[in-house]
Amino acid sequence: MGVSGSNSTDQLGTIGSHAPVLGIDIGGGSVKTAVLIDGHAVAQTVGPRDRPITELLDRLVASAVGEHQIVAVGAGIAGLVDARNGQFLWGPHLSDQPIHIARFLDSLIECHVVDNDANFAAYAEWATGSASDHRVALTVSVGTGIGAGLVVEGAIWRGSAFAGEVGHMRLTETELACPCGRSGCWETLVSGRQLGLEAGRLGLSPTAEALAAAARGGSQQAVDVLRLAGDWLGVGITNLIMALDPSVVVIAGGVSGAGGLILDAAREQIASGLPGAGHRPDVEIVPAAHGRWAAAVGAALFAARRLTGLERSEEKRQSE
């Protein structure tokens, strides 16, 4: 996959620096796209995830080629993604059947890159968002579920392959069922899916957005639900800070739209719950500059890097 070897680096650099690129974020509940030129979004779309992943990719790539003449695609997908081979393996909100995304994209466009959606979100926030200038930047994406991405000195940290599946850290003994098949996972306590269920119980439209709107409208019940979710967000982030020691934690994804309604409680929980807090540097907890678009923007930025060969040379350097 990727750029053909027959072009010179100079040509690719020229193409890559100004050519339109498409980022696609396939999440548990929705599909977002961003078309970037020179790093700036010129078009963004959001729609339901209403058909199989390959059909979505087929439609979105064809549309962006036709409308914007895009020349590279980044596809971010929620779940276990083998970025090296461009293969989706498993995602509790999407499918338990492996899909060779890169092989499918080969039939649509020459230059493409595939990764976990939270990794792309983390890259976007490090490259052009709230985590720029940070050496160790953690981005926690709270959408339908929770995923995290860690960028260390400008490179996505993958572990052996699948680092960042933090939504399925078990944080409670209760029997809250998770789509992964277990119970008590972090994302059963705070996620778009969970807040949607809570909104439904309050008689609202079953979305996190409806819950946040009700809270802003003065509903104490909605405020309390969001505060509790924020507490749990803080508990999970505290654990991640202890394990990874980032200098910044960025909150991205759809739920980040609730802003201070959730983030204030999370910050208080971290300030009071982080062991040795007075003896370590403060960790900034900040909303994503790219908000719910972070993964789509990061996918497009990474596609641009693949186009210019930057990302390939970095991979080579890391494997040496």
Q: Which region among 12-20, 24-32, 171-179, 261-269 touches Zn ion (by CB under 5 A)?
A: 171-179
Residue with Cβ nearer Zn ion (110 or 162)? 162
CB atoms within 10 A of CB 180: 18
Pairing of strands 40-48, 30-37: antiparallel
Residue with Cβ nearer Zn ion (130 or 144)? 144
Q: Which of 114, 127, 138, 178 binds Zn ion (CB under 5 A)?
A: 178
The answer to the question of residue 78 lying near Zn ion (CB under 5 A) is no
The β-bridge partners of 54 are none
Q: Which of 180, 226, 266, 283 binds Zn ion (CB under 5 A)?
A: 180
On the 0-12 / 13-18 / 19+ scale of CB atoms within 10 A, 281 is exposed
Rounded least distance, CB 80 to Zn ion, Å: 13
Q: Which region among 22-30, 48-56, 103-111, 164-172 touches Zn ion (by CB under 5 A)?
A: 164-172
* Distances 105 to 52, 108, 305 between C-alpha atoms, Å: 14, 5, 17
Q: Rounded to an integer, what is the distance from CA 21 to the centroid of its chain?
A: 18
CB atoms within 10 A of CB 136: 16
* Distances 313 to 81, 131, 161 between C-alpha atoms, Å: 21, 23, 19
| Residues 208 and 222: beta-carbon distance below 8 Å | no
| x/- track of binding to Zn ion for residues 181-200 (CB under 5 A) | ----x---------------
| CA torsion, ordered 7, 8, 13, 19, to nearest 10 deg | -20
Q: Which region among 7-15, 59-67, 101-109, 177-185 touches Zn ion (by CB under 5 A)?
A: 177-185
Q: Read off the tokens for 230.
A: 């924020």
The answer to the question of residue 3 lying near Zn ion (CB under 5 A) is no
Residue with Cβ nearer Zn ion (146 or 266)? 146
Q: Which region among 17-25, 167-175, 199-207, 301-309 touches Zn ion (by CB under 5 A)?
A: 167-175
The β-bridge partners of 142 are 146
Q: Which of 168, 193, 267, 290 binds Zn ion (CB under 5 A)?
A: 168
Residue with Cβ nearer Zn ion (23 or 79)? 79
Residue with Cβ nearer Zn ion (236 or 291)? 236
Q: Read off the tokens for 206.
A: 């079953």
Rounded least distance, CB 166 to Zn ion, Å: 10
| Residues 21 and 307: beta-carbon distance below 8 Å | yes
| CA torsion, ordered 290, 292, 298, 299, to nearest 10 deg | -150
Residue with Cβ nearer Zn ion (78 or 180)? 180
Measured distance CA(91)–CA(77) in Å, rounded: 9
Rounded least distance, CB 169 to Zn ion, Å: 9
Residue with Cβ nearer Zn ion (112 or 193)? 193
Interaction site with Zn ion (CB under 5 A):
168, 178, 180, 185
